A and B are shown apart, each in its own frame.
Chain A
Amino acid sequence: MTYLAKPRLHHPTLPKNRRGYTRRDYEGAISTLCAGCGHDSISAALIQACFELDVEPHRVAKLSGIGCSSKTPTYFLGNSHGFNSVHGRMPSVLTGANLANRDLLYLGVSGDGDSASIGLGQFAHCMRRGVNMVYIVENNGVYGLTKGQFSATADRGSKSKRGVVNTDAAIDMAQLALQLGASFVARSFSGDKEQLVPLIKAAIEHRGAAFIDVVSPCVAFNNHAGSTKSYDYVREHNEAVNRLDVMVPRAAISAQYPPGSVRAITLHDGSTMLLHKLAADYDPGDRIRAMNYLAERQAQGQVVTGLLYAEAEPEDLHASLNTVSGPLNALGERELCPGAAALEKFNASLR
């Protein structure tokens, strides 16, 4: 951590986006996490993605649970809405907020302890329901905030800093999300922003339950030899299946790619997602094969990263529940109190 606030001065050529903001305008308070924490890099990636997508900070709600990871919303998007919930309960609060105001961008930020242990049930149902959100698990394999106990995502056989071997089976959050019906699933690494930033952008553009499992080394408790969530281990075992470029509508696509290696996917607002295949046989449009692929590679000790699955036409909770099209706070008295006749009609329909 640092005690000094980051000076306001910036590079003389720092660009502005379409909203007139610089990247620096998307920063938050100075981080109090340990120096070198992967979570800080994820915050930086979120800042970059929001800047590049011209996101309006006041149209964003950041929600989190408890943990070092769950503290990070303080460190990015300092001008957005935020809610720091109870341990493991972020998904419910997010679901409620989303139902009340469907127009905001919901960023759910959680940890492997927060989501895979105490909050596993909440996580499961939020994915099942298809809440329109970006759900990020900052996955370090330990409870960082409480001094490094193994979390439920720690691999069986991996060693704690004090040499204790983990005997429990690991939960793979990405596989779980696929199984639970998330319409966008990705995995990345905090130390690879070239991969992570476009994935976050694509997740923001996705209208449905988007989940990203980001392996994020804990420098204080889980970055030693014998850990499977360390910088060195992840770099050695990372198998990226593809690379993304997300192009906002106004940006010209100038890069040249060898034919056949790139698939362009048009997103709902006219932006384009360019998918560079790295593993020839990998198809992020096939949920079942994706699940198999992940299981196979996991057995071989590899960490598969990239865009794992994306549904082209996702359906979200609001569509399933057939809710009103605008946020509840925009409804007038007439819509909220339609009168005795309307109530009578509604009651009759239930008889």
Chain B
Amino acid sequence: MKATDIGNPDYFHKVVDCQWACPSHTPVPEYIRLIAAGRYGDAYLVNWKSNVFPGILGRTCDRPCEPACRRSRVEDADAREPVAICRLKRVAADQKEDIRARLPQPAAQRNGKRVACVGAGPASLTVARDLAPLGYEVVVLDGEQRAGGMIRSQIPKFRLPEEVIDEEVGYVLDLGVEFRGGQYVSSLRALLAEGWDAVFVGCGAPRGRDLELPGRREAAAHIHVGIDWLASVSFGHVTRVGKRVIVLGGGNTAMDCCRSAKRLGGEDVKVIVRSGFEEMKASPWEKEDAMHEGIPILNFLVPKAFLHEGGKLTGMTFEKVQAVYDANGRRSLIPTGEPDQAFACDEVLVAVGQENAFPWIERDLGIEFDRWGMPKLDPKTLQSTLPRVFFGGDAALGPKNIIWAVAHGHDAAISIDRHCHGEDVAVRPPPGVNLVSQKMGIHEWSYDNEIALDRRYRVPWRDVNVALKSIKVEVELGFDAKTAFREAQRCLNCDVQTVFSAKLCIECDACVDICPMDCITFTHGGEEQDLRSRLRAPAANLAQALYLADGLKTGRVMVKDEDVCLHCGLCAERCPTGAWDMQKFALDVTHAGPGCRDRRAPVRKVA
């Protein structure tokens, strides 16, 4: 195995598991430290720069960072849990002072370039946020009256209050972005004819899948497609539901449907799913929330027919199945042969998936689609086969989540910026990287290196009986400042990196002896696989890098397994020569603007 190139910006970035896992690479430990210091406004702005919607995401994010979090690998086996990264983000948003004066101002001067964004969801709003302050004239068009996309139309208000959406969507529109509500774009040809320098398609994946089963047409009045029904609830068109409700599907939409139904008069609400409980698509916490509200989830039941009488829905029948795995571990659902099960109900909500649809995009514009009806895109630049048209969010990937939509927005904004400056969109400048020693004195560091042993704190919930009375009352209450501090202290500061300098090392073993996690080994070199087996503790987690340094006097190598390092800095405190240093890694993700372009500023020629 060769010596690690720590100059590669990805190396230390990967060590910060949460930041690496976050699609928009939010500097998580940085904002968590700011929260611990009570600097909520600063913590908010660190987030805002990366993910645009801290208050919204702090309540709703799919949080890919949390399963990745190192904390969940270092705690005692009986209760290993990640830092509550997402809910700490909400603390920054809830507790911050007024930060409006610190946001960018609308551009004083326009740069003459015009960009149209179709759809006002998080993807388009991110494009607008990145481009408007640079002087672009950005116009966002949406068929709905108000901006926000599915954040506003789909996510129930008891999970995400309207004021939070208004505030954060407002921050974007206040940057001099023009929003045209109630303007459904029915022809891309017509839009392109208006001469935009670039068009961003952020129209989402708006079509909910239906279930064509016997009785569907006859009982249609009481059967609804989940996402359409949720939108009607959000906009106040639906305010009541029948007493007995069946929700079909096992994803997050199904969880939102059942919890909404429970608040609109549903007394007997149940979720019925084809698959088993574990394989359900919904996030574990969404399932937990639904069950906490007394909603049963029934598994291994495949819908067969809608039952009706005189045009009125009376119930549904289901076939009982079981999961059978073949030699390749592939699962199929096989009928058990037991008699079908029937459940009586007054209303059914169908939440069995979402699809993309681009009825408004003519197929002869030069935009190619693949055989699944999705636009052909360069995954990095999000550029379509028509160079000035870009896609992002659910429109690019199929239904995903807000944070991916934001990440796409940033990437598309860079592409649009380069495209509008006549530069190759495929060239992506690398991020800026900064490593700064945290040493302040012999054993003093500018970060808190003491390891808290606290277990993850639970976010308090509003009393179920109160919560279930209204569709708008927020269920989760958020951490108070004291609990937020304690939870923040669980973060290991994974961005404070252990940086090794072989030429200073005298191989005294002090770091090896003090390391609580047995991360460090001095040994003879070898192939990575072989090295992994003969370290002080086996390095079985292949997703985590080994940090190898050569150039030691004895000819051995230093190998550090990054996997479970606590970033406690004890190695550096014990090192007599300063061969270990704790250095804070800061990643400056390139956003649209001069920094992403080849020609930074007009260079004046000297005669």
> Is B553 a contact of A7 with CB atoms below 8 Å?
no
With both chains docked as a complex, state the minimum distance between the C-beta of A30 and any C-beta of chain B, in angstroms. Answer: 9
> Which segment, of A8-16, A91-99, A306-314, faces chain B?
A8-16
Measured CB to CB, the closest approach of chain A to B399, in angstroms, equals 36
CB of B568 within 8 A of CB of A7, answer yes
Cα–Cα, bound, A350→B85 (Å): 83
When chains A and B are docked, how far (Å) is the Cα of A24 from the Cα of B516? 8
**Within 8 Å CB of A11, what residues of B?**
517-518, 537, 564
Other-chain contact of A223, B506, B513, B514 (Cβ < 8 Å): B506
Any chain A CB within 8 A of the CB of B543? no
Q: A7-B566, A10-B516 are in contact. Are A36 and B575 (CB under 8 A)?
A: yes
Question: From residue 556 to 588 of chain B, which have CB atoms closer than 8 A to chain A?
Answer: 564, 566, 568, 570, 573-577
Interfacial chain B residues near A81, Cβ < 8 Å: none
- Residue in B506, B538, B575 whose CB lies within 8 Å of A231: B506
Interface residues of B in 504-536 (CB under 8 A from A): 506-510, 512-514, 516-518
**A161 interface residue (CB < 8 Å to B):** no
Interface stretch, picked from A37-45, A51-59, A129-137, is A37-45
| Complex interface residues of chain A between 1 and 30 (CB less than 8 A to chain B) | 1-4, 6-14, 24
Residue on A with the closest CB to B519? A11
Distance of A231 Cα from B506 Cα, bound (Å): 7
A12→B73 contact, CB < 8 A: yes
- Once bound together, how far apart are the Cα atoms of A13 and B541, in whole Å? 12
In the complex, which residues of chain A have a beta carbon less than 8 angstroms from the beta carbon of B514? Answer: 2, 6, 40
Complex: A6 Cα to B449 Cα, angstroms: 11
Considering the chains assembled together, what is the distance between the CA atoms of A24 and B537 in angstroms? Answer: 13
Nearest CB of chain A from residue B342's CB, rounded to whole Å: 49
Contacts of B5 in A (CB 8 A): none
B378 within 8 A of A: no
Instruction: Please state if B518 and A4 are interface contacts (CB–CB under 8 Å).
Output: no
User: Are B507's CB and A191's CB within 8 A?
Assistant: yes
Q: Does A235 lie at the interface of the complex (its beta carbon under 8 Å from any beta carbon of B)? A: yes
Please determine whether B453 and A35 come into contact, CB atoms closer than 8 angstroms.
no
Interface residues of A in 173-200 (CB under 8 A from B): 190-191, 193
Check B453 against A219 for contact (C-beta < 8 Å): no
Which residue of chain A lies nearest to B578 when distances are taken between CB atoms in the complex? A35
**A23 to chain B: closest residue by CB:** B518
Indicate whether B77 reaches chain A with its CB closer than 8 angstroms: yes
Contact between chains at A12 and B74 (CB < 8 Å): yes
Report yes or no: B570 in contact with A219, Cβ–Cβ below 8 A. Answer: no
Question: What chain B residues lie within 8 Å of A1 (beta carbons)?
Answer: 443
CA distance A13 to B566 in the complex (A): 15
Whether, in the assembled complex, B450 has its beta carbon less than 8 Å from a beta carbon of chain A, the answer is yes
Check A4 against B450 for contact (C-beta < 8 Å): yes
Q: Which residues of B contact A113 (CB under 8 A)?
A: none
Report the Cα distance A38→B570, complex, angstroms: 17
Q: Could you give, for residues 59-80 of chain B, a 1 whenever the CB lies within 8 Å of some chain A CB and a 0 otherwise?
A: 0000000000000011111000
CA distance A37 to B506 in the complex (A): 11
For residue B554, which residue of chain A has the nearest CB?
Answer: A235
> In angstroms, how far is the closest chain A Cβ from the Cβ of B450?
6
B451 interface hit (Cβ, 8 Å): yes
Q: Which of A9, A35, A235 contacts B451 (CB 8 A)?
A: A9
| B573 contact set on A, CB distance < 8 A | 2-4, 35
**Residue numbers in A under 8 Å from B518 (CB-CB):** 10-11, 14
Contact of A12 among B506, B564, B570 (CB under 8 A): B564
> What count of chain B residues pass the 8 Å CB interface test?
35
Q: Give the Cβ gap from A315 to chain B, nearest Cβ, in Å.
A: 36
A34 within 8 A of B: yes
Least distance between A194 CB and chain B CB atoms (Å): 10
On chain B, the residues within 8 Å of A44 by CB distance are 509, 512-513
Closest to B452 in A: A7
Residue of B whose beta carbon sits closest to that of A10: B516
The residue that A10 contacts in the complex, of B517, B540, B574, with Cβ under 8 A, is B517
Query: Taking A2-B514, A13-B538, A235-B554 as contacts, is the C-beta distance between A36 and B507 under 8 angstroms?
Result: no
Contacts of A7 in B (CB 8 A): 450-451, 453, 516, 566, 568
Other-chain residue from B510, B553, B570, B577 in contact with A40 (beta carbon distance below 8 A): B510
Across-interface contacts of B577 in A (CB, < 8 A): 36
Chain A minimum-CB-distance residue to B506: A231
- What is the CB-to-nearest-CB distance from A261 to chain B, in angstroms, rounded to a whole number? 20
Interface centre among B74, B449, B509, B566 (most CB of A within 10 A): B509
Q: How far is the CA of A190 from the CA of B508 in the complex (A)?
A: 8
Q: Chain B at the A interface: mostly helix, strand, loop or mixed?
A: loop
* A35 B574 Cβ-Cβ under 8 A: yes
The smallest C-beta distance from A147 to any residue of chain B, in angstroms, reads 17
A50 to B51, CA, bound (A): 52
A41 touches B516 (CB 8 A): no
Q: Are A231 and B449 in contact (CB under 8 A)?
A: no
Which residues of chain A are within 8 angstroms of B74 by Cβ–Cβ distance?
Answer: 9, 12
Kindly identify, within residues 219 to 269 of chain A, every residue whose CB is under 8 Å from any CB belonging to chain B. 219, 223, 231-232, 235
B537 lies within 8 A of A4 (CB) = no
Contacts A2-B514, A191-B508, A223-B506 given: A9-B453 contact, CB under 8 Å? yes
Q: How far is the CB of A52 from chain B (nearest CB, A)?
A: 14
Find chain A residues with CB under 8 A from B575 CB. Answer: 35-36
B574 touching A2 by the CB < 8 A rule? yes
Which residues from B are CB-within-8-Å of A41? 508-510, 513
- A residues less than 8 Å from B450 (CB atoms): 4, 7
A65 at the interface (CB under 8 A from B): no
Contact A35 B554 (CB under 8 A): no
The answer for the CA separation of A231 and B538 in the assembled complex, in Å, is 28
- Are B513 and A40 touching (Cβ within 8 A)? yes
Asked whether, in the complex, the Cβ of A235 is within 8 Å of the Cβ of B553, the reply is: yes
Bound complex: CA A75 to CA B540 (Å): 31
Partner of B507, one of A13, A34, A231: A231
A34 to B508, CA, bound (A): 12
Q: Kindly state the separation between the CA atoms of A346 and B554 in the bound complex, as whole angstroms.
A: 65
Q: Name A75's closest neighbour in chain B (CB-CB).
A: B513
Distance from B188 Cβ to chain A, minimum over Cβ atoms (Å)? 54
A1 to B510, CA, bound (A): 10
Indicate if A108 sits at the interface (CB-CB under 8 A): no
In the complex the two chains form, what is the Cα distance from A231 to B514 in whole Å? 19
Interface string of B443-460 (1 = CB under 8 A from A): 100000111010000000
A231 touches B508 (CB 8 A): yes
Chain B residues positioned under 8 Å from A144 (CB to CB):
none
Also in contact, A6 and B510, with CB within 8 A (given A12-B74, A14-B537, A35-B576): no
> Considering the chains assembled together, what is the distance between the CA atoms of A10 and B536 in angstroms?
12
Q: How far is B568's CA from A47's CA once the two chains are assembled, in angstroms?
A: 22
Pick the contact of B576: A6, A13, A193, A219 (CB < 8 A).
A219
Chain A, residue nearest B570 (CB): A2
Q: Of B509, B516, B537, which contacts A6 at CB under 8 A?
A: B516
- Nearest Cβ distance between residue A202 and chain B, in whole angstroms? 21
List of A residues within 8 angstroms of B443 by Cβ:
1-4
Is A217 interfacial (CB-CB < 8 Å)? yes
Residue pair A36, B570 in contact (C-beta under 8 Å): no
* A8-B453 contact given A35-B575, A219-B576, CB 8 Å threshold: yes
Once bound together, how far apart are the Cα atoms of A44 and B577, in whole Å? 20
Interface mask (B482-513 → A, CB under 8 Å = 1, otherwise 0): 00000000000000000000000011111011
Question: Which A residues lie within 8 Å of B508 (CB)?
Answer: 36, 38, 41, 191, 217, 219, 231
**Minimum CB–CB distance for B408 against chain A, Å:** 36
Q: Identify the closest chain A residue to B451 (Cβ).
A: A7
How many angstroms from the CA of A347 to the CA of B517 in the assembled complex? 64
Q: How far is the CB of B207 from chain A (nearest CB, A)?
A: 45
Q: How far is the CA of A24 from the CA of B518 in the complex (A)?
A: 11
Bound-state CA distance A190–B554 (Å) is 15
Pairs across A and B, CB under 8 Å, 9 listed = A2-B574, A4-B443, A6-B514, A11-B564, A13-B540, A35-B573, A41-B509, A193-B509, A219-B508
Task: List 3 A-B pairs, minimum CB-CB distance, nearest first.
Answer: A36-B576, A7-B451, A44-B513
* A3-B573, A232-B506 given; 5 more Cβ-contact pairs under 8 Å: A2-B570, A4-B568, A14-B537, A35-B576, A219-B506
